[in-house]
A and B are shown apart, each in its own frame.
Chain A
């Protein structure tokens, strides 16, 4: 059961990423491209978090024992903090890129009154 779950998780992640990638490349609407980009990026983040997952793991915040001291933590029972850091960075970078993409799309709309790539290219050729 666990193995099936694990593989299922991974397959969904790959499908999600590919949907995002397809949308980035094939769709003509600029906003949809941006949203596809965000979906691709969050899919990658889900992938990273999955590879750092541990069975029945606790949140990586160490619990205080008596008198403000901390017991030696059981590493196998605490979720992997490294993958989480990397993904924090990836989320923030993703939203920054999305912001710049949206700003460019808005500027393009101001010029051509359309978000559609084909219309814009036609417009530019005139």
Chain B
């Protein structure tokens, strides 16, 4: 049974989705429990694998039993759970499970009458994301990418109205990214002849300064950037996440872009190796400048937003800059910071969107000014919100502090001061946003929508939404406290050995 765990991670949500598609026509009430069970099985398997990998090492699995054949390499498709992706697998499946519980009330109210396939699409998106993370085959990654992409276009389109145009723009940019990725895979394939990540990483050093490999690398990078909305490919994200229904945004925002960052990390660290990055210093500094610009511009835009969901989307954009910059610093603290931040940011963004979702559920609106008096009427939600913003700012002991610490350390070590400035600036901006919200929220005159019945002192979000929000916020603190354990047992082993300390 233990050897089958990797495939169980994928099969759980996939079968849950297909069965939910069936029950959508017979017993619609069963769709949600089926999907939750599938995600729970996946999360359990991923969690077990975290411990197995920490204790024993990477776990490989060959689909169809087609493994390595002498003289040919791996002839089938391999999926691998190793130090680089095991934490992300647990994070994605865990966050998806919590979000599935969170969105039940939203789907029943906002999407009433249209929710036949919502949970099937939800589960299929998670399947795609988990697949991208676990696969060890660069073409298989493309197919999983498209599974995640098509599901996300449909999930966004549930928002109706402006969501259709937003989803269409996302479709164009996302498909462009996927096609560029595929083209890059073609170049790599032309020079190496194999699609298996381990086999390719063995062949690449021998090929040295190959222009085709370089072009392939750049194309794969561009494809991943388009998928993660890295500047200048960020145009689609704010509209897509703002107009999508909260139920979809709560799943998409934390996970989709982080998995794209993982793709970039996997290609940089495993397929091409850090040596390769170090041999292209021109690109390295260009990317670092782009990251700093991404962080600063996104932070500036988030300051000017009045719509809560758009504000959150710009915060997501600035966080992407952290991860790309950290990865391209190509030194130990930088890469550690990027890897920790992938998991930390998934949790923080999830908590952020869940908290905003609770507020929007009660108010029906999402403008900043509508938050008047909200601290009195929704104290638990706002407490979770404050913890999340604190994590995003980087206050210890939340997880945000530790990842930022690694990133700043890495940037200082490499002498990339503009990145340090950008990081500190974005923290400052988030602090300003938090204080603004506190100022509006503690206003004595509450907004009529939150007022409700004056006799009832509180008008919180429903429990099914509140508990996951609070759990996620507490998780941020737990993650922060556990960071050093995670880094020492797992993340340092994911770093390539020949890395500058």
Q: Is B468 an interface residue (CB 8 A)?
A: no
Task: Tell me, in angstroms, the Cα distance from A40 to B167 when the chains sit together.
Answer: 20
Q: Is B176 an interface residue (CB 8 A)?
A: yes
Name, among A21, A30, A33, A86, the residue most crowded by chain B CB atoms within 10 Å (CB to CB): A86
Task: Tell me, in angstroms, the Cα distance from A30 to B168 when the chains sit together.
Answer: 9
Establish whether residues A47 and B186, one from each chain, have CB atoms under 8 Å apart when the complex forms: yes
Which residues of B (183-212) have their CB < 8 Å from a CB of A? 183, 186, 189-190, 195
Establish whether residues A124 and B182, one from each chain, have CB atoms under 8 Å apart when the complex forms: no
Establish whether residues B171 and A124, one from each chain, have CB atoms under 8 Å apart when the complex forms: no
Residues of B within 8 A of A111 (CB): 161, 164
Task: Tell me, in angstroms, the Cα distance from A97 to B150 when the chains sit together.
Answer: 7
Q: Is B467 an interface residue (CB 8 A)?
A: no
Establish whether residues A93 and B146, one from each chain, have CB atoms under 8 Å apart when the complex forms: yes
Q: Is A3 an interface residue (CB 8 A)?
A: no
Establish whether residues A21 and B176, one from each chain, have CB atoms under 8 Å apart when the complex forms: yes
Task: Tell me, in angstroms, the Cα distance from A104 to B164 when the chains sit together.
Answer: 6
Which residues of A (14-59) have their CB < 8 Å from a CB of B? 17, 21, 24-25, 30, 33, 37, 40-41, 44, 47-48, 51
A108 in contact with B165 given A47-B186, A97-B146 (CB within 8 Å): yes
Selected from A37, A83, A121, the residue in CB contact (under 8 A) with B172 is A37
Min CB distance A119 to B, Å, is 11
Min CB distance A9 to B, Å, is 14
Contact with B along A107-126 (1 / 0, CB 8 A): 11001000000001100100
Q: Is B154 an interface residue (CB 8 A)?
A: yes
Residues of B within 8 A of A108 (CB): 164-165, 168
Residues of B within 8 A of A104 (CB): 153, 157, 164, 167-168, 171
Residues of A within 8 A of B172 (CB): 24-25, 33, 37, 101
Q: Is A11 an interface residue (CB 8 A)?
A: no
Min CB distance B214 to A, Å, is 16
Q: Is B262 an interface residue (CB 8 A)?
A: no
Which chain B residue lies CB-closest to A45? B182
Establish whether residues B183 and A17, one from each chain, have CB atoms under 8 Å apart when the complex forms: yes
Task: Tell me, in angstroms, the Cα distance from A41 to B150 when the chains sit together.
Answer: 16
Which chain B residue lies CB-closest to A38? B175
Establish whether residues B176 and A100, one from each chain, have CB atoms under 8 Å apart when the complex forms: no
Which chain A residue lies CB-closest to B153? A100
Q: Is the interface of B mostly helix, strand, loop or mixed?
A: helix
Establish whether residues A41 and B171, one from each chain, have CB atoms under 8 Å apart when the complex forms: no
Task: Tell me, in angstroms, the Cα distance from A48 to B184 when the chains sit together.
Answer: 11
Residues of B within 8 A of A107 (CB): 157, 164
Task: Tell me, in angstroms, the Cα distance from A100 to B171 when the chains sit together.
Answer: 9
Q: Is B143 an interface residue (CB 8 A)?
A: yes
Residues of A within 8 A of B164 (CB): 104, 107-108, 111
Task: Tell me, in angstroms, the Cα distance from A41 to B195 when the chains sit together.
Answer: 20
A105 in contact with B168 given A51-B186, A97-B175 (CB within 8 Å): yes
Residues of A within 8 A of B161 (CB): 111
Q: Is A76 an interface residue (CB 8 A)?
A: no
Establish whether residues B162 and A40, one from each chain, have CB atoms under 8 Å apart when the complex forms: no
Q: Is the interface of A mostly helix, strand, loop or mixed?
A: helix
Establish whether residues A97 and B171, one from each chain, have CB atoms under 8 Å apart when the complex forms: yes
Q: Is A89 an interface residue (CB 8 A)?
A: yes
Residues of B within 8 A of A17 (CB): 183
Contact with A along B134-156 (1 / 0, CB 8 A): 00000100010010011001100
Establish whether residues A44 and B179, one from each chain, have CB atoms under 8 Å apart when the complex forms: yes
Q: Is A96 an interface residue (CB 8 A)?
A: yes
Min CB distance B218 to A, Å, is 15
Which chain B residue lies CB-closest to A104? B168
Selected from B157, B167, B176, the residue in CB contact (under 8 A) with A24 is B176
Establish whether residues A44 and B165, one from each chain, have CB atoms under 8 Å apart when the complex forms: no
Which chain A residue lies CB-closest to B183? A44
Min CB distance B294 to A, Å, is 20
Task: Tell me, in angstroms, the Cα distance from A96 to B178 when the chains sit together.
Answer: 14
Establish whether residues A47 and B183, one from each chain, have CB atoms under 8 Å apart when the complex forms: yes
Residues of A within 8 A of B195 (CB): 86
Min CB distance B157 to A, Å, is 6
Min CB distance B128 to A, Å, is 12
Establish whether residues A124 and B143, one from each chain, have CB atoms under 8 Å apart when the complex forms: no
Q: Is A90 an interface residue (CB 8 A)?
A: yes
A51 in contact with B168 given A41-B179, A100-B153 (CB within 8 Å): no
Establish whether residues A124 and B165, one from each chain, have CB atoms under 8 Å apart when the complex forms: yes
Residues of B within 8 A of A97 (CB): 146, 149-150, 171, 175
Establish whether residues B182 and A44, one from each chain, have CB atoms under 8 Å apart when the complex forms: yes
Which chain B residue lies CB-closest to A107? B164
A100 in contact with B179 given A108-B164, A108-B168, A124-B162 (CB within 8 Å): no
Name, among A21, A37, A90, the residue most crowded by chain B CB atoms within 10 Å (CB to CB): A90
A101 in contact with B146 given A40-B179, A47-B186, A86-B139 (CB within 8 Å): no
Selected from B146, B154, B189, the residue in CB contact (under 8 A) with A51 is B189
Which chain A residue lies CB-closest to B193? A82
Residues of B within 8 A of A44 (CB): 179, 182-183, 186
Which chain B residue lies CB-closest to A97? B175
Task: Tell me, in angstroms, the Cα distance from A41 to B183 when the chains sit together.
Answer: 9
Establish whether residues A93 and B183, one from each chain, have CB atoms under 8 Å apart when the complex forms: no
Residues of A within 8 A of B175 (CB): 24, 37, 41, 97, 101
Task: Tell me, in angstroms, the Cα distance from A25 to B172 when the chains sit together.
Answer: 8
A96 in contact with B150 given A30-B168, A51-B190, A104-B164 (CB within 8 Å): yes
Which 4 interchain pairs have the tightest Cβ spacing? A104-B168, A51-B190, A93-B146, A107-B164
Beyond the given pairs A41-B175, A96-B150, A108-B165, 5 more chain A to chain B contacts, judged by CB atoms under 8 angstroms and listed by A's residue number, are: A37-B179, A40-B179, A104-B171, A121-B165, A124-B165
Which B positions have Cβ atoms within 8 angstroms of A?
139, 143, 146, 149-150, 153-154, 157, 161-162, 164-165, 167-168, 171-172, 175-176, 179, 182-183, 186, 189-190, 195
